[in-house]
Amino acid sequence: ILAIGITVLTTICLLANLSVKNKQSTDPLFYASFNDRKNTAHGIMMSFWDGVLHYGLLLVMVHRMTAGKPFRSLALVWAGSMMASQIVLITGIVVGKYGKNLLPAFWRNAPSLFLTIWAAAKLFNRPRELSIIPADKVEVEQKKALLFRPTDLLLTLGLIGSIIFTAFRGVVVLECSLDFCFTYIFQYEPYMKDSVGFPKVTMLVFLFYVLPLLMACVYGLHTPGCTWMLDWTLVLAGAVAQMQWTHLGSSVHSRTPFTYRIPRDEWRQVVTLNLLYTAVPVLLAVRCYMDQTFFMKSVPQEQASNGKKKN
């Protein structure tokens, strides 16, 4: 992970140097040139997230590496957040009003995306950070129906609500002609109409990538032994948190035109709904990480009995 960060930083610095090489600097010591998309509300909110959360996660991961402690779970959260950030940024530039700057944007951000995907693939191939749980405890927990697991039941209901909300906003951003879709985009989240392209791409990423994962998580909470939940819930939490941060922050930011901001009368409802939507995958990831019993592979009865006899 550290090598990836150094490589990406070096590449960005070289590209930035080449892009301003033939331009006279107004300040010989501290001179920076920001492109238009970085001055948008989305670019500012993304920069805050990069500078605080991504940087903080990298520091913690480096510390855990040097201390010989496991870091895979944190790295999966970082990978999900980074991939979501770069996918929305690059695609938003292509479809939005900054499409003329496609080439420099691609060369500046594509290395981050490709290296993050490569890092995520490497992380998935590393051994999971599994807790040591007795086989009989796993068996007892996995025999419980969903109704007898109140935390999982509440999370399932939250996931179903998130699925409905994700599908609804995806339909709205695709210019659904129904009255309630028209009402929502004009009276509740007009930012989705902004020509910068980022909000539309964000909703489409939710629709085509996050929605299937949410549905898979409902299945994983109902079916015992789905060990993939321990990984993918972390990736999902990082991606949703990052996209919701930039989307919700941009919806209220002063750089967003006033007509595209959340209306003052509906501000509380929209913000609350979006925060609840963000909380569901985050709480799910915490639940899976803290209590892995239900998601462990079940041990055959004969093997468990033999293990007890040997002990």
State residue 32's pLDDT score: 45
Give the global pTM: 0.84
Cβ contacts of 195 within 8 Å, gap of 6 or more: 96, 97
User: Does residue 282 or residue 23 have the better pLDDT?
Assistant: 282
Amino acid in the structure at residue 120: A
State residue 6's pLDDT score: 62
CA dihedral 216, 218, 221, 222 (to 10 degrees): -100
pLDDT surpassing 60 at residue 35: no
DSSP H/E element including 266? none
User: Does residue 98 or residue 254 have the better pLDDT?
Assistant: 254
SS3 of 34, please? Answer: coil
Q: Among all chains, which residue has been given the structure tokens 């913690």?
A: 60
State residue 30's pLDDT score: 37
Phi and psi at residue 135, in whole multiples of 5°? -60, -35
Cβ neighbours, 10 Å, residue 28:
7
Q: What is the mean pLDDT of the chain?
A: 85
Cβ contacts of 22 within 8 Å, gap of 6 or more: none
